Amino acid sequence: MRIAVDAMGGDFAPRAVVDGALEADSRCGADLILFGQEERLGEIMAGRPGASRVQVVHAPDVIGMGEAAPVAIRRKRDASLVVAMRWLAEGSVDAVVSAGSTAATVSAARHYVGLVQGLRRPAMAVSLPTPEGSVLLADAGANAAADAVNLAQSAGLAHFFLKVTADEASPRVGLLNIGHEPIKGTRVTQRAFSLLTRSRLHFVGNVEPQGLFAGQIEAAVCDGFVGNVLLKVFEGLSETYLKLLESHLDPGGVGARTALREAFERFQKRYHHENVGGAPLLGVRRTVVVAHGRSTGSAIANAILLAANLVRSQVFSRMEEELERDGILSDLRHDNAFYMLEHLKSKWGLGQG
């Protein structure tokens, strides 16, 4: 197994990426390849334990966080992210990990690696905790905007990801909205509701944000803008909540303080982005893991370990086989075309009388 790591991607790159790669090297059971500016990486790695085991591939260009992704990946063919994706597309590596621009990672994955048959756009998947376990959020930031088909197909991706990874034969999927009624939300969410209602998925209807944690669903669907905002609010709240509680505890209540800290440490170990590492980009034909932009070395190491586990379990190839065998992605696109045709007929009074 060989894993490509975008060494120039992230707020603290390349040092944090090098730290993470060296930390993960002895634990991931894979050969690691850093893509980036060879001289700079060599200076950081010089004399460090395990550095000789990590290969470096020179890629002089860097795609910045503020660059227009579709343009950047075509103009900067020697960028670290682009070269890594080309290696993945060619089969020279088994996975790519990047903490760089999410938009650029998604664009490069679509352009070079490709999507599963029938899919319009990929979706990032992130697990959020519930009292009973967790709920899968898709899309968590791959695409800021989405139409009805995108939302419905994200539900299909979530369904098969849980089927493959959690042995959920029929996971309950909800559409994140501002109310339970079918007429709530935008025209896009209303149409997505209609598509999902007619689909073969176990669609339970609209779910309000507070309902995400009620244990009523295994997956929630939304566009990437809403999903990413929700994820970052959740991250900030979890970090702030401990500080607020600690500041209001009785200083003499050492036992309560210790118990509280231990509980939050267990929580953070499972769900904090540093420990989770990254989010799989569902719908891509090969394994791609998107790490948080502010990832430290530990977060990069965990993202690499996640990628290794996904490759080892053949999650992406199994999902592709299931999706193509089932045909649900194409069915959703067909249903949407039929819906739009019927809507136009009704609007213009065609076929009446």
Which class for 129: exposed (0-12), middle (13-18), buried (19 or more C-beta within 10 A)?
middle
CATH architecture of 1-114+284-313: 3-Layer(aba) Sandwich (3.40)
Report for 34-48, 247-261, 274-288: range of highest mean pLDDT: 34-48
What separation in angstroms does the CA of 187 have from each of 157, 190, 192? 22, 5, 8
Q: Is residue 188 within 8 Å of residue 148, measured between CB atoms?
A: yes
287 forms beta bridges with 95
Tens of pLDDT, residues 55-68:
999 999 999 988 99
Cα atoms in the Cβ-side hemisphere of radius 13 Å centred on 9: 31
Beta strands per DSSP E along the chain? 2-6, 31-36, 55-58, 95-98, 123-130, 133-138, 172-176, 202-207, 219-221, 278-282, 287-291
CATH architecture of 117-273+315-353: 3-Layer(aba) Sandwich (3.40)
Q: Is residue 176 within 8 Å of residue 221, measured between CB atoms?
A: yes
Predicted pLDDT at 340 = 66
* Mean pLDDT, range 97-114, rounded to an integer: 97
- Alpha carbon distance 185, 215 (integer Å): 22
311-313-150 Cα angle (round to 5): 75
Instruction: Please give the biggest Cα pair distance in the chain.
Output: 83
- Alpha carbon distance 81, 12 (integer Å): 16
pLDDT band of 335, cuts 50, 70, 90:
confident
User: Which distant-in-sequence residues (6+ apart) come within 8 Å of 88 by Cβ?
Assistant: 4, 94, 95, 96, 112, 113, 286, 287, 288
Same fold yes or no, 1-114+284-313 and 117-273+315-353: yes
Residue 219 in this model has a pLDDT that exceeds 90:
yes
**pLDDT > 70 in the chain, percent:** 86
Q: Is the pTM of this model over 0.85?
A: yes
* Mean pLDDT, range 23-37, rounded to an integer: 96
Closest CA to 60 of 77, 45, 73: 77
Average pLDDT over the chain reads 90
Give residue limits of the domains in the chain: 1-114+284-313, 117-273+315-353
Q: Is residue 54 within 8 Å of residue 21, measured between CB atoms?
A: yes
What SS3 class is residue 299?
Answer: helix
Predicted pLDDT at 322 = 94
* Mean pLDDT, range 169-175, rounded to an integer: 96
Predicted pLDDT at 260 = 64
Predicted pLDDT at 170 = 94
341 forms beta bridges with none
What SS3 class is residue 229?
Answer: helix
Phi-psi region at 47: left, alpha or beta (left = phi > 0; alpha = psi -120 to 50): left
* Mean pLDDT, range 94-118, rounded to an integer: 97
pLDDT band of 353, cuts 50, 70, 90:
very low
Predicted pLDDT at 35 = 98
Residue 173 in this model has a pLDDT that exceeds 70:
yes
Structure tokens at 72: 């950047």
123 forms beta bridges with 282
Tens of pLDDT, residues 222-279:
999 999 999 888 888 777 776 776 666 555 555 656 666 666 666 666 656 666 679 9
Predicted pLDDT at 334 = 83
**pLDDT > 90 in the chain, percent:** 74
